[in-house]
Amino acid sequence: MEALRRGLEVTGILGVLLRAKEKDIIPRVKTVLDEMIEKAGFWVDGKLYNRILVIANED
């Protein structure tokens, strides 16, 4: 991947959501993630979904 070759950090959408909560840009990851799943057809494995909520302290 070109970004890695250039030494850039690569972050997926779930990482972006966690960072946004960390910086108080969004109040809850779960709310945004659920909307992405319901309205945009975003798919995430159930175990990963739960893990993200644990990381976000929303379990």
Answer whether 52's CB lies under 8 Å from 18's CB.
yes
Start-to-end CA span in the chain (Å): 33
15-40 per-position pLDDT tens digit: 999 999 999 999 999 999 999 999 99
Tokens of 14: 């779930």
Q: Report CA-CA distances (Å) from 55 to 6, 30, 48.
A: 28, 11, 10
39-56 per-position pLDDT tens digit: 999 999 999 999 999 999
- Residues with Cβ < 8 Å from 25, sequence gap 6 or more? none
